[in-house]
Structure 1
Amino acid sequence: MVLIPFNMITINIQEADGRISSVNIPKDISLSLMEVLKAGGYDIQASCGGMALCGTCHVGVTEGFDHLIPAGEQELETLDGLPNSEENSRLSCQLRLSQILPGMTFILKGDQ
């Protein structure tokens, strides 16, 4: 059993090939999920730099979707234009770590 420090959260990332990895993130950093994924070497383009315009940081939320604050107008507009957008889709640039709960699972969908 692995013990996670109380000031960290663990989330799960599923890549396009189906591989799932766990990521430990300090609770008190003010970053977006996109920034964490890029820093962790995940295949996320984030072409617009986090402005919710391009959709290349698109993720599916398979665990914990109901706990997220609703998507804003710009994010919904961008998601609506993506061919692989689903009900559980979000843009990782718009998800702040402060709203992500331990155990949430995200599927990378940005370049599918």
Structure 2
Amino acid sequence: MPKITFLPNPDLCPEGVTVEAESGESILEVALRNDIEIDHACEMSCACSTCHCVVRKGFDSLEPSDEQEDDMLDKAWGVEPQSRLSCQARVADEDLVIDVPRYTLNHAKEH
């Protein structure tokens, strides 16, 4: 069973955490199941960039992003070559290390 390590994030998981994932789950689904509340303003429909993450390890194990995801990533804050939308990136069989940027462009967030 693959594992996902979420690097420390002062707002989401200050100490960082490693959790188990099922192949085929999105990174966001794994995070939410483990109480890591990554913003996701569009309810995982690939219509915003609020769930942007950077895959620090295991990026090549993920299926490539499609054109719609790439278009949304163009709107994200702090995009890097290994950036993905966590709602679209599905876990394969390799462990991942994920960095969730501290800032997001979430115009719908109310708190």
Q: What band does the TM-score fall into relative to the shorter chain?
A: 0.7 to 0.9
Does structure 2 retain, via aligned residues, the 8 Å contact 1:68–1:100?
A: no
Match of 1:41? 35
Q: Give per-residue Cα distances to partners, 1:23-68, cap 9 Å, x unaligned.
A: 01244xx531111111211131211111112111111011111222
Task: Read off the aligned partner of 1:105 and give its amino acid letter.
Answer: V
Structure showing greater radius of gyration is 1
Please report how far the alpha carbon of residue 19 of structure 1 lies from its aligned counterpart in structure 2 after TM superposition. Answer: 3.2
1:13 positional shift: 0.5
Higher alpha-carbon deviation: 9-18 or 41-50: 9-18
8 Å CA contact 2:62–2:90 kept in 1: the answer is no
Using structure 1 for the length normalisation, give the TM-score.
0.77
Q: Which runs of 5+ in 1 are unaligned?
A: 1-7
Which one has a larger percent helix, Structure 1 or Structure 2?
Answer: 1
Contact 2:63 2:90 in 1 (8 A): no
> Of residues 79, 88, 93 in structure 1, which corresponds to 2:82?
88
- Cα distance in 2 for residues equivalent to 1:96 and 1:51: 14
Q: Under a length normalisation based on structure 2, what TM-score does the superposition of the two structures give?
A: 0.78
In structure 1, the residue corresponding to 2:103 is in which secondary structure?
Answer: coil
What displacement does 1:110 show? 6.6
Moved segments of 4+, more than 6 Å:
none
What is the CA–CA distance in structure 1 between the aligned matches of 2:102 and 2:69, rounded to whole Å?
14
Higher mean C-alpha deviation, range 51-60 or range 10-19: 10-19
User: Can you give the 5+ residue segments of structure 2 that lack an aligned partner in the other structure?
Assistant: 105-111
- Correspondence 1:2-81 to 2 at 5 A: 8-17=1-10, 19-27=15-23, 30-81=24-75
Aligned partner of 2:109 in structure 1 is: none
